[in-house]
A = this chain, B = another copy of it.
């Protein structure tokens, strides 16, 4: 498996486009389209929030009922959530408009919206955007990047990634894009993500791969503990690579899954690092856990703690807050044997295959539940880096997990105290 340039248009047979529809933002693109030249099997995971936006309800139905899907249309600016019957009608109308210009059935068009809750889509703008999308549709890598830019809200950079792998000697490509930033605490999926692949893969196998991979990737990110009404991760597989069909129990599945996992991890790191107001990527790794589930719960508790996040912002090795966040996670462990380390990196690297954490290079802050005589200066230096990792060894077993978050800053407050105006 290796990383290549591009995103959703990297695999064979995919086109993408962006449009300046003027739904909410001025002077920037706000609609995106991803299109497979041939019908593709599709899979998806969606928010567990009881309050589900109109596009989420639409997609869940389509993913369940339709054999194939051919397009995903996305808009930023308005979430089309808490918009009642009108919202459902507008969403269906958006799918219909796209279907018309692409000459496909509206039931082949997945939809996704992100932005302010409670406002209706402006259908004139959507109509204007649809025409532009049709005109701009293109299979270049740049078209994929432009689509990734169009779905940004408070994101500061576009998020895309692509990898290739060999399935029985045949090259298969997976691409993806997503947007994150605020209201990020995915539960079954995250804000908006679209994965494309040219793999030949059974629909059930694709769904299994997506559902499994999100558990240790998108579901392990948190910016602010707020699970959105619009979380959607959708995957299309159009089969143009021509490999032998991947089924859920084939050996090729494991290879495909491993590549998908790295792709989603990369996108996860991007979303965490670009959390609203974030100045750094903050990662927590639990080692020595009794089970993966325990490790996941503990890791996520640390990266979601406001007190830990503000300390990370302040470059303050206030490790007591980390131990405290482990303590209230709801998992049983012995605080008196916990070791805690920090380490960091000067530059953000989003794509990196799971490295072994080299504990000897990390600074040990706590040994058996109590402070070591670490240097506060060294600790502050590590905490000032662009990527900070806290590692807790709870010495109960062999299981591990990593969760990704960011610091809590003045800018998070600024952005969110003033979001709608």
CB within 8 Å of B: which residues of A?
A: 47-52, 79, 81-84, 116-119, 182-183, 185, 187, 224-229, 304-307, 310-311, 313-314, 316, 318-321, 323-328, 331-333, 335-336, 366, 368-371, 408-410, 412-414, 416-421
When distances are taken between beta carbons in the complex, the residues of chain B under 8 Å from A323 are 51, 82, 117-118, 229
CB distance from A60 to the nearest CB of B (A): 15
Contact with A50, one of B48, B117, B305, B327 (Cβ below 8 angstroms): B327
Task: Tell me the complex Cα distance, A48–B417, Å.
Answer: 32
If the complex has contacts A310-B413, A313-B413, are A82 and B366 also in contact, measured as CB distance less than 8 A? yes
Given A118-B371, A327-B49, A366-B82: A418 and B314 interface contact (C-beta under 8 Å): yes
Subset of 6 A-B contacts with CB under 8 Å: A83-B370, A183-B307, A183-B324, A225-B304, A306-B416, A410-B413
Q: Are B117 and A417 in contact (CB under 8 A)?
A: no
Instruction: Tell me if B419 and A227 are in contact (CB < 8 A).
Output: no
Contact flag A225-B183 (CB < 8 Å), given A50-B335, A320-B117, A323-B51: no
**In whole angstroms, what is the CA distance A158 to B230 when docked?**
43
Query: How far is B229's CA from A415's CA once the two chains are assembled, in angstroms?
Result: 31
Given the known inter-chain contacts A306-B225, A311-B417, A409-B413, please indicate yes or no for A51 contacting B316, CB distance below 8 A.
no
Question: Interface centre among A50, A305, A414, by most B CB within 10 Å?
Answer: A50
What are the residues of chain B within 8 A of A82 when measuring CB–CB? 320, 323, 335, 366, 369-371
Given the complex of chains A and B, what is the CA–CA distance between A203 and B305 in angstroms?
37
Smallest Cβ distance from A337 to chain B, in angstroms?
A: 11
Q: Is the CB of B79 within 8 A of A332?
A: no
User: In the assembled complex, which residues on chain B have CB atoms less than 8 Å from the CB atom of A418?
Assistant: 314, 316
A313 partner residues in chain B, CB cutoff 8 A: 413, 417
Given contacts A119-B371, A183-B307, 19 further A-B contacts (CB under 8 A): A50-B332, A50-B335, A51-B335, A81-B320, A82-B335, A82-B369, A84-B369, A117-B319, A118-B366, A185-B328, A225-B306, A226-B324, A310-B412, A310-B416, A310-B417, A313-B417, A314-B417, A316-B418, A318-B419
Cβ contact within 8 Å between B316 and A116:
no
Contacts of A79 in B (CB 8 A): 320
Give the docked Cα–Cα distance between A182 and B412 (Å). 18
Chain B residues lying within 8 Å of A84, measured Cβ to Cβ, are 336, 368-370
B51 and A182 contacting across the interface, CB-CB below 8 Å:
no
A328 and B226 form a contact (CB under 8 A): yes
Give the distance to chain B from A207, nearest Cβ to Cβ, in Å.
23
Nearest 7 A/B pairs, CB to CB:
A117-B320, A314-B417, A51-B327, A310-B416, A227-B328, A49-B327, A50-B327
Closest to A365 in B: B118
Residues of B within 8 Å of A229, CB to CB, are 320, 323-324, 327
A386 to B52, CA, bound (A): 33
Complex contacts, A228 vs chain B, CB 8 Å: 324
A421: chain B residues at CB < 8 Å are 316
Contact B369 A307 (CB under 8 A): no
**B328–A50 contact, CB under 8 A?**
yes
A333 neighbours in B (Cβ, 8 Å): 50
Point out the residues of chain B lying under 8 angstroms from A319, CB to CB: 117-118
State A51–B332 Cα separation when bound (angstroms): 10
Query: A316 contacts which chain B residues (CB < 8 A)?
Result: 417-421
Cβ contacts under 8 Å, A318 to chain B: 116-117, 419-420
> A409's closest neighbor in chain B, by CB?
B413
Residues of chain B within 8 A of A50, CB atoms compared: 326-328, 331-333, 335
- The interface centre, meaning the residue of A81, A319, A332 with most chain B CB atoms within 10 A of its CB, is A81
